[in-house]
Amino acid sequence: MIRRMLPFLAFALCALATARAQLAASLKLDKSQYLAGEPVIATVTITNHAGRELTFQSDGRFQWLDFIVKTTNNNAVSPRGKKLFGPMKIKAGESLAREVDLTQHFQLSKPGNFSVAAVVHPPGAAIEGTSTNRLLFSQTPGRVVWSQKVGVTVGGSQTRDMRLIQFSGSQKTHLYAQVADGSSGTLVRTFLLGDMLTLRRPLATIDRNQRMHVLFLHTPSLWVHCVVSTDGKLVARQIHQRGAVGDPKMITMATGEVRVVNSIPYDPKAAAEQQKQIRKATDRPSVSY
C-alpha cells in the first residue's frame, strides 16, 4: 500500500515545489520607525513566472495573501478579526504590488519592536505558499505636547481625546494628530500633520464645533494651520507666511470661531511665478545700443 502511494506523494511534492517556484515575492515597508497607532504600510510585490496569467483570490476558507507579524520575543501579534484581500490578476512575466495597512489587520497600537513577512499562496489549492523576506520595524509612543478632551457632537455622552504628538523617527521632527475614545482610550486615528521645526512650540485650540486647530512652524518662513475633526479627519490645511510683525497666531472669536492672524496666506502658484521673474545671477543683463 505504501509503495503504491509513493508515486502520488512524489507527484504532490513535485507539484508543490513547482507551484512555489512559479512565484517570486518581496516585501517593503514605507519606513522602519513608526509612531504607535499610525498606519504601517507594507507593500508586497509578486512576479509571475508561471508562463500564464494567474488569478489570486480568496474565498470563505482560504486567503491567497497572509502576513505573519511577531514581537521580538517571537510571539504572534493578535489579528483584528478575519482578513480578506481582494483578487489580483497577474499576467505572465508581470510584477504587481499590493499595499496593505498592517494596523487594519493586526493589534499594532502599542509601542514595541516587531517583525513581519508575507506569504503568497498560488491559485488553485491551499498549499504552502511563497514567503517574502522578513523585515523589522518599531513603534514608539512619541511625546504628547498638547491634549484636550471634548464631547462628540453626534452620539450624546461620547467624548474624544484630541492630542498633538511630537515624534522624531529620523533626522526630522514630525508632528502628529491623534484622536482617541475618551472612555476606553481606543485610538480612532493617528496621522501625520507634517514636519515641524522645534524653534517654535506648536499651538493648538478647540473651536465651537469641537474641532482641533493646530498651528506649527514647518520651515523657517512657513507655518501650517490644520483643522482636525473628532472622527480623526483632516478638515482643512493651509500654509501661512509671517506677517508684518512677529509670528502668526491663532485667536478664538467670541462666536467660538478660530482664526489665524498676523499672517499672509501662502499661494504656491504665485510664489512659483514670482520665482520665475527673479533674474538668475548667471543671466546676462540686457544691453541696449
- Residue by residue, pLDDT tens for the chain (289 residues) are 444 443 433 333 344 344 455 889 999 999 999 999 999 999 999 999 989 999 998 876 778 999 999 998 999 999 987 777 889 999 999 999 999 999 999 999 889 999 999 999 888 755 678 999 999 999 999 999 999 999 986 655 689 999 999 998 777 899 999 999 998 888 999 999 999 999 999 999 999 999 999 999 999 999 999 999 999 999 999 999 988 788 999 999 999 999 999 999 887 665 555 556 655 555 555 544 4
Give the number of other CB atoms < 10 A from CB of residue 34. 25
Determine the pLDDT at residue 269: 65
What's the Cα-to-Cα distance from 139 to each of 32, 36, 110, 135, 192, rounded to whole Å?
Answer: 9, 5, 7, 14, 14
23 closest CA partner among 148, 117, 131, 107: 131
Determine the pLDDT at residue 272: 55
d(CA 100, CA 56): 16
126-129: which pairs have CB atoms within 8 A and are 24 or more residues apart?
126/61, 126/62, 127/16, 127/19, 128/16, 128/20, 129/20, 129/23, 129/66
Domains of the chain: 7-139 (2.60.40.2970), 142-270 (no CATH)
Q: What is the pLDDT of residues 43-89, one digit of tens each?
A: 999 999 989 999 998 876 778 999 999 998 999 999 987 777 889 99
Determine the pLDDT at residue 268: 67
d(CA 34, CA 106): 15
Determine the pLDDT at residue 162: 97
Q: Where are the beta strands (DSSP E) in 125-248?
A: 130-131, 135-140, 143-151, 159-167, 174-181, 187-195, 203-206, 212-217, 222-228, 234-242
Determine the pLDDT at residue 8: 38
Determine the pLDDT at residue 5: 42
Which contiguous run of DSSP H or E holds residue 276?
A: helix 268-277
d(CA 170, CA 44): 24
